[in-house]
Amino acid sequence: MSADSNWSDFLQEGITEKTIFTYIQGLQEVINNLQPKTLKEKNRLTLAKQHLREIRRQARRMLNENVELQEKLTLLEENKGGE
């Protein structure tokens, strides 16, 4: 086994459940570590960073909506059970 593989396994031990935010963070780290050599590559990286920010924003909105819907469902189930 290589050192990189061992290190990766060690890092993954603490993560039991990956969320969309984990994947977004991983992509952000990859994009931030890229070194563009041309102006065209630099522009593409800028666009990718903008898209990633929008993805994060949309994911937060979806998560908030999901929490709200779960709370509403819980209330409805409680009301239905009480009738």
The larger pLDDT score, comparing residue 28 to residue 15, is at 28
Q: Is 46 in contact with 25 (CB distance < 8 Å)?
A: no
Extract the runs of DSSP E, i.e. beta strands, from 1-83.
Answer: none
Nearest to 20 by CA among 73, 57, 69, 75: 57
Q: The whole model's pTM is what? A: 0.69
- Which amino acid makes up residue 27? L
Nearest to 52 by CA among 28, 18, 74: 28
Confidence of residue 83 (pLDDT cuts 50, 70, 90): low
Assess whether pLDDT exceeds 90 at residue 58: yes
Range 36-64 average pLDDT: 96
Cα separation of 21 and 31, whole Å?
A: 15
